């Protein structure tokens, strides 16, 4: 009998956390995706040179047609073991709608598309952020964050973010966690899991760009981190690797913080 390959799918494949994740799956086929073919080719070439079994396809995660091509590509390669969804933008894009669409709406599009090919023991691991923990639970925006594609949801959330893309980022990352709660039963019926991971400050291109814009704040965060260092992509990748495997078979519908312990101290620093 033909044994189907178990595929690890990683979005945002050129990103710092994505590449570190890929490197933890040395003996498994990986499908990498990012928004342009050029970025995908670069990522695939780099990782193949390191001996990884990796292929790739471009996918702008805000486009349903691209997501469909990605899901078809994965289906041809084998069975989905894990979707590791790292693609995203930070508040530095300075565009409320862009942050909302890429980080939250597209996350829901991916969850729905990958649900169709999820099987017993498949898992979706979504990247949230420790900054989600700075947003208190509140019915009015939580309903909108849980239903990001509903009419008026963006406008509702926008009322609470003081016209700041950074604050919108914190809200939509809370939304990512809420999407796992929304989908956990549905995925559970297939014996599949869905959960999120919330990194602290991890030294990737995204974080280093944010550091350039808010140097004092970034220095204060490092100082406030009990472990007195920023995170490295590998700190997050090792946790994701565990969550994608058999050892994490009873973990679903929750968020795992990988922040060096800093969030408790940051909450005291927030206005
Ligand atoms: N680095 C951190 O400190 C940190 C902290 C908390 C949360 N996170 C989250 O972890 C995830 C990965 O972060 P990172 O630092 O590796 O980011 P990164 O900027 O290094 O990588 C993100 C990737 O997403 C891709 N991307 C952006 N828009 C896309 C689109 N429309 N379609 C397809 N791909 C797109 C980019 O091309 C990039 O390769 C993000 O969701 C981020 O919010 C990161």
Cα of 43 vs centre of ligand 1, distance in Å, is 14
**Separation CA 215–CA 62 (nearest Å):** 31
Mutation probe of ligand 1 site: the residue of 17, 44, 105 with most atoms within 8 A of C-beta: 17
Q: What is the pLDDT of residues 179-237, one digit of tens each?
A: 999 999 999 999 999 999 999 999 997 778 777 878 888 788 889 999 999 999 999 99
Which residues are bridge partners to 127 per DSSP?
197
Which residues are bridge partners to 84 per DSSP?
10, 125
**Separation CA 151–CA 144 (nearest Å):** 9
Cα of 237 vs centre of ligand 1, distance in Å, is 13
Cα of 89 vs centre of ligand 1, distance in Å, is 5
Nearest CA to ligand 1 atom 27: 88
Residues with CB under 6 Å of ligand 1 are 12, 14-18, 34-35, 39, 60-62, 86-89, 102, 127, 129, 199, 201-202, 204-207
**Separation CA 175–CA 44 (nearest Å):** 31
Q: Is the pTM of this model over 0.85?
A: yes
Ligand 1 atom closest to the Cα of residue 231 is 3
Q: What is the pLDDT of residues 39-48, one digit of tens each?
A: 999 999 999 9
Residue 270 has pLDDT above 80, yes or no: no
Go through the domains of the chain in sequence order and give each one's CATH number.
6-200+233-259 (3.40.50.720)
Q: Find how far residue 125's CA is from the centre of its chain.
A: 7
Ligand 1 atom closest to the Cα of residue 102 is 31
Q: What is the DSSP letter of 231?
A: B
């Amino acid at each position: 009998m033909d044994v189907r390959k178990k595929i690890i799918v990683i979005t945002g494949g050129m990103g710092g956390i994505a590449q570190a994740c890929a490197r933890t799956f040395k003996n498994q086929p990986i499908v990498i995706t990012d928004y342009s073919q050029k970025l995908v080719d670069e990522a695939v070439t780099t990782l193949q040179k390191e001996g990884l079994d990796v292929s790739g396809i471009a996918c702008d995660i805000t486009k349903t047609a691209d997501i469909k091509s990605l899901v078809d590509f994965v289906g041809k390669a084998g069975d989905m073991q894990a979707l590791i969804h790292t693609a995203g933008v930070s508040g530095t894009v300075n565009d409320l709608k862009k942050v909302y669409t890429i980080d939250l709406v597209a996350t829901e599009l991916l969850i729905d598309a990958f649900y169709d090919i999820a099987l017993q023991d498949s898992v979706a691991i979504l990247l949230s952020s420790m900054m989600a923990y700075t947003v208190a639970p509140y019915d009015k925006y939580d309903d909108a964050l849980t239903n990001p594609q509903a009419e008026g949801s963006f406008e509702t959330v926008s009322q609470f973010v003081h016209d700041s893309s950074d604050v919108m980022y914190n809200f939509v990352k809370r939304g990512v966690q809420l999407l796992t709660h929304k989908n956990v039963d549905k995925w559970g019926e297939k014996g599949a899991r869905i959960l999120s991971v919330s990194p602290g400050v991890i030294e990737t291109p995204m974080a280093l760009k944010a550091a350039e814009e808010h140097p004092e704040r970034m220095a204060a965060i490092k100082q406030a981190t009990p472990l007195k260092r920023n995170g490295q992509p590998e700190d997050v990748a090792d946790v994701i690797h565990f969550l994608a495997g058999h050892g994490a078979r009873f973990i679903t519908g929750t968020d795992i913080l990988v922040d060096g312990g800093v969030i408790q101290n940051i909450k005291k620093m927030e206005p």
